[in-house]
Structure 1
Amino acid sequence: MLNSNLLRKLDMQDLMVFIAVYQQSSVTGVSEALFVSQSTVSYCLKKLRTSFEDDLFINTRTGMRPTHKACTMYAHVLKILESINLCHAGPATFDPTRQAVTFNICAPEYFEHLILPRLLKNFDFADLPVIVNMHKLETDIPADELRDGSLDLVICFGPNFHRSHPDFKSQVLVEDDLVCVFDKRATPLEPRFSLQAFVERRHVFPTPWTSTTNMVDGWLARQAYKRQIVARANSYSAALKMITGTDFILTLPRRIQKLLAKDTIFNHCEAPNGLPGFTLNMQWSQNSDPDSANTWLRDQVLKACAEQGLS
């Protein structure tokens, strides 16, 4: 709010005249510099004097001498005009065609299989000098690295698989559910596993991110059940190789099953009723929200999802 109603009558031209008179000490010079008449400069000075209740400039033989108040005002008025120019220009916009850039993303294997290949192809097709460094997702979201800018994005599972942070923003990228995959020679008769049949089979557990719990065993524990895990794999592909030629079960995200489990080798059936689905979420720090490079990266991730019908 303004301290005085007199200030409401001022406009940008008045402030420009103030700066010009202060710098040039000449009404004639100001008139030529601003391409306005001398009468306009005089009118602006009159408005300024009325609004700030001070002479501001005194006409002397050597030119217009600023008063003490005008001297104290100069830096503030200059900042006002600079701020107006910044508002007009807006924030600097990231242009990936002009500068090489490296983005750091922390994500599970699911993202690397499903979204990252399309993201990189889009960069390549557009001939953009963009490098993406991937960091493995651990048990907890690397909150400090996201806050200090060491990481640009964290891609994680949801809902409620990781501790929430109120200063992070989040967006769902993909929704998916789980299916049971097995060697074709070990295909069960039923199209959907019962809970009892599911826990009676031996399982291979893929660990696409480091965690002490997982969505399958957490759900089984709530049903007072436990499955037998014969092996833990570091990747989906390795887990698929482990079940080849056995009667082991591998519980995979449906989108990963369609992508990696060749139907010449593997079959699949529905998981037991009640086994919940999950989401893949993109998270970023509020500090990065206005950053144009970070905004551009998030848009590219969303574009890669949309192009594949994932979102």
Structure 2
Amino acid sequence: MNMSRIDLNLAHVFLALWHERSVSRAAERLFLTQPAVSSALRRLREACGDELFVRTRYGMQPTAHAVAIAETLEMNVSSLRSSLGLRGQFDPASSSRFFMIGSDGGLDYALGARLVSRLSAEAPDITLTFRTVSEPVLDDALGRREIDLALTVSSVTRPDCISSSLRSFRFVCVWHVDFCILPEQMTLEDLERCRHVLIETALRYSIFDHRLRSMGIRRTVRTIVPSFGHLPTFLCQPDTIAIVPDYIAEFFLMTSGLRISYLPEVFGVHEVRMLLPRKAEYDAGVGWLEGLIREVV
């Protein structure tokens, strides 16, 4: 971007679109009208010779050129604020900002309700969207900045993201008391004897199944469902169980009355991690969301 061809106000419009991924929300953030932001975007496109932001089902997504210049613009604006004695601020109580969280492993079930409860009390006009992503899609979404941050149980790492541990978890067994009777502590023989309901994404990305195969054990899968939310209904079959992370089991224990049995120690302890783009360190809003997630976890 040739800074001699644009004024500083256009840099602020670019960054508002970068963070909000919406013309209307960018306008609200900047206290401008939508036509004014649309006009500024046209001038940005002319100055850069690039579309910069393209409308998709997930909002106004940045082009490769926009991704390439975003960090430089953000650093320069932040540096200018510091030079002038200004600081980026974010007031959740008055903000109407939109945040996109990418998650896998059913973490939206575990954290969604608690996050929404906190938002209702502290940030009533903020919109929070959970986008369920598989491991390869998560990496791609972070690279294209389609999500503000990621919550993951996968092994995805990126040099442009800060990875931090939020909590540990174990796999446990859930079952319906009317259709199954299991001891509190299961054995490997119990696992092989029962029929299993499997989440669709676990066909390729299940940590649990990778561990089972390494021990030469195969479980009998008779039903595959799209998401964790389907499990309570499909567990209403004789001797049918599901293996889930303990945070999912705790959610079901409170909402559907399923029972929990614990697995042998051989399946180990795993991590829930947060991946935060390094470019977001200049964004006070994402910083606030990161802190809120840590409190809720």
Change (3 A) 1:101 1:201: same
The C-alpha deviation readout for 1:115-173, integer Å capped at 9, x for no partner, is 1212122121125320112211113253343244321011110xxx3332122111222
Change (3 A) 1:211 1:269: closer
Match of 2:251 in 1: 259
Change (3 A) 1:144 1:233: closer
Matches of 1:206 and 1:294, distance apart in 2: 31
8 A Cα contact 2:142 2:149, kept in partner: yes
Match of 2:225 in 1: 233
Match of 2:180 in 1: 186
Shift of 1:211: 6.2
Matches of 1:264 and 1:132, distance apart in 2: 25
Please point out which of 166, 169, 188 is paired with 1:173. 166
Match of 2:136 in 1: 140
Gaps of at least 5 residues in structure 1 are 1-82, 306-311
Among the aligned pairs, what percent are the same residue?
17
Structure 1 length-normalised TM: 0.63
Gaps of at least 5 residues in structure 2 are 1-78
8 A Cα contact 2:185 2:262, kept in partner: yes
In structure 2, the residue corresponding to 1:186 is in which secondary structure?
coil
Change (3 A) 1:267 1:210: closer
In structure 2, the residue corresponding to 1:124 is in which secondary structure?
helix
Matches of 1:88 and 1:201, distance apart in 2: 67
The C-alpha deviation readout for 1:273-303, integer Å capped at 9, x for no partner, is 3012322111111111222111111111112
Residue 218 (str. 1) matches residue 210 (str. 2): yes
Name the amino acid aligned to 2:250. K
In structure 2, the residue corresponding to 1:143 is in which secondary structure?
helix
Matches of 2:168 and 2:207, distance apart in 1: 14
Please point out which of 78, 94, 102 is paired with 2:90. 94
Name the amino acid aligned to 1:203. H
Change (3 A) 1:292 1:249: same
Change (3 A) 1:174 1:286: same
Residue 196 (str. 1) matches residue 189 (str. 2): yes
Structure 2 length-normalised TM: 0.65
Match of 2:289 in 1: 297
Alignment of 1:82-161 (within 5 A): 86-87=82-83, 89-108=85-104, 110-157=106-153, 161=154
Matches of 1:248 and 1:286, distance apart in 2: 44
Match of 2:272 in 1: 280
8 A Cα contact 2:135 2:156, kept in partner: no
In structure 2, the residue corresponding to 1:95 is in which secondary structure?
coil
In structure 2, the residue corresponding to 1:298 is in which secondary structure?
helix
- Larger mean CA deviation between 96-105 and 216-225 belongs to 96-105
Change (3 A) 1:134 1:94: same
- Larger mean CA deviation between 233-242 and 253-262 belongs to 253-262
Please report the RMSD computed on the Cα atoms of aligned residues, expressed in angstroms.
2.6
Match of 2:157 in 1: 164
Change (3 A) 1:118 1:182: closer
Name the amino acid aligned to 2:156. R
